[in-house]
Structure 1
Amino acid sequence: MNETDFHARLHRPGTLIDVGAHDGLITIPLARLPGSRVMAFEPLPPAFARLQVALRAAFGGMPAHVECHAAALGDHAGEITLAMPVLDGIAQEQWASTAKDYAAHRSARVGVETFAVKLMRLDDFGLTDVTGIKIDAEGAEYEILRGARETLLRCRPVLTLEVEERHREGSTWAVPAFLDALGYDVVFELRGEWLPMAALDRPTMQRASPDPSVFEASDPYVFVFYALPREQAAGMLARLQAAA
């Protein structure tokens, strides 16, 4: 099950947050869910421009129920550096990160472009109706969740998170532990089976190079995780399993 299907299966009307919206691959399907309001955050300038174009094309104009922010999320407000590797002259936008600078991987093939971007904290919006959050932030997941702590406790949304050791060592331990302390169960899907975080074998399921010029990864490579509020987790898992 992909992230879009997960959010559709467990959808409740309310505000959906897309962190790392890029050019709208998930923003647009979220915006089509009934009763949804979407807040999309994308700090990379060229991706943000394409996000707006994609939304206008999909809805015949900028939809009133979608709010776009040219910003990163974190645990404080201000400004932060976004680093994007450039491989053989081609921007690797999917690797753009506020959590690392790629300095260790500079080479004849790999350069780095940096952007000073706005940094925001989700809790500062004071939202009361968040029902789902998607996070794809190349290593910045922990800070994003720290900045959303009160929102998570108040609203109890479901979450999808892309978390990779190659982007931040220890993140597959720290992120689930933070969510566990807030009363969330973190699970992943493998070959149609929903498994607890304890079943993640990092040496065989999370092996990938942090170097943007090296294309290798374990098989399977598990990097999408799903967080369910513990008080609703059993029922939600039953719905997800029924859809498999």
Structure 2
Amino acid sequence: MSIYSLIAEKLQYFSPSFYKERFFKKLKGLNRENILERRVEPELLWIKDYLSENDVYMDIGANVGAYLYQLENKLQHQNIYAFEPNQKLYKRLKRIFPAVYTLPLALSDENTFAEFKVPVMNGKKIHSRGTLQTKLREEGESASEIHKVKVTRLDDWAELEDFTRLNFIKIDVEGNELHTLRGAKKTLQKFKPTIMVEIEQRHHEEPGWNIISEVENWGFEAHYLDRNSFNLEKLTKNLIEAQNSENVKQYTEYINNIIFVPAK
């Protein structure tokens, strides 16, 4: 890391608000005309229009906080819940989003403590790729760092918290999707929120469509965000099978965020 980057990173401790605006500068003034040239997920723009100001939003695998940044001035802070088990990212989120209810938990299908892997690529720890799937190897991964994290089922957490409403849930858990979803099944069927899950075949040995089919059997329909119309379109097995992980940063072509809406 360069000296300039080190100084910039230290800003989060001395001026969290300034650091936040600098870090998320790509998201400022985001619109349909510039979103692809800025190389950010189109769903980051869509979600602001999709949600209403009184909606309850849950971010599982909040990571660096891009979706929190997009929504913190749209939703009421007491209605935003973020889960991030990586201690480095969790502490950073607490500093730059102090009004958001952020928890240092991994969500899966059991209540336990588990190993959490941070891959090392090109000699650098990539905290944004952390996963409970410790056997998963990223392309270019040369080593890894293992941490112990607390794991819980969303169903159990929601019951303990006496959770009463949920409108949208975003899940980005680097290969642990099905375990996280199964641990949340009761909550999802009770509140019937819109569910956005990152599902990529490169993270799975079994077909990704199997995960999608299981969630559809719970009473949801799978869609994706059309990059031209910004409307939700019905997802097909052929479209999923046609995805190529080599296009992961080609947001006009690559579909990795599967959006489930309650079946009518």
- TM-score, normalised via structure 2 length: 0.73
Q: Which segments of structure 1 move beyond 4 Å, counting only runs of 4 or more?
A: none
Task: Go from structure 1 to structure 2 and tell me whether the alpha carbon gap of 1:38 and 1:113 turns closer, same or farther (over 3 Å shift).
Answer: same
Task: Go from structure 1 to structure 2 and tell me whether the alpha carbon gap of 1:192 and 1:49 turns closer, same or farther (over 3 Å shift).
Answer: same
| 2:85 corresponds to 1:52 | no
State the match for 1:38 in structure 2. 80
| 2:47 corresponds to 1:7 | yes
Counterpart of 2:258 in 1: which secondary structure? Answer: strand
Among 23, 35, 42, the alignment partner of 2:64 is 23
| Contact 2:194/2:259 (8 A) holds in 1 | yes
AA of the residue aligned to 2:80: V
CA–CA distance in structure 2, aligned partners of residues 117 and 7 of structure 1: 29
| 2:261 corresponds to 1:228 | yes
In the TM superposition, what is the alpha-carbon distance from 1:28 to its structure 2 partner?
Answer: 2.9
Matches within 5 A, 1:62-81: 62-63=98-99, 66-81=100-115
CA deviation vs aligned residue, 1:75-125 (integer Å, no higher than 9, x gap): 1111111112101211122321112424697x8x61111111010111112
AA of the residue aligned to 1:225: I
- TM-score, normalised via structure 1 length: 0.78
Unaligned runs of 5+ in 1: 56-61, 209-215, 232-244
CA–CA distance in structure 2, aligned partners of residues 222 and 144 of structure 1: 20
CA–CA distance in structure 2, aligned partners of residues 104 and 8 of structure 1: 31
Task: Go from structure 1 to structure 2 and tell me whether the alpha carbon gap of 1:141 and 1:110 turns closer, same or farther (over 3 Å shift).
Answer: same
Identity percentage over the alignment? Answer: 24
AA of the residue aligned to 1:167: H
Among 108, 116, 121, the alignment partner of 2:153 is 121
Number of residues paired by the alignment? 213
CA–CA distance in structure 2, aligned partners of residues 196 and 187 of structure 1: 4
Counterpart of 2:167 in 1: which secondary structure? Answer: strand
Among 199, 205, 221, the alignment partner of 1:163 is 199
AA of the residue aligned to 2:112: G
Cα RMSD (Å)? 2.3
Counterpart of 1:18 in 2: which secondary structure? Answer: strand
Unaligned runs of 5+ in 2: 1-40
Task: Go from structure 1 to structure 2 and tell me whether the alpha carbon gap of 1:171 and 1:93 turns closer, same or farther (over 3 Å shift).
Answer: farther
Matches within 5 A, 1:65-214: 66-102=100-136, 110-124=142-156, 125-126=158-159, 127-170=163-206, 172-192=208-228, 194-198=232-236, 200-205=238-243, 207-208=244-245
| Contact 2:209/2:240 (8 A) holds in 1 | no
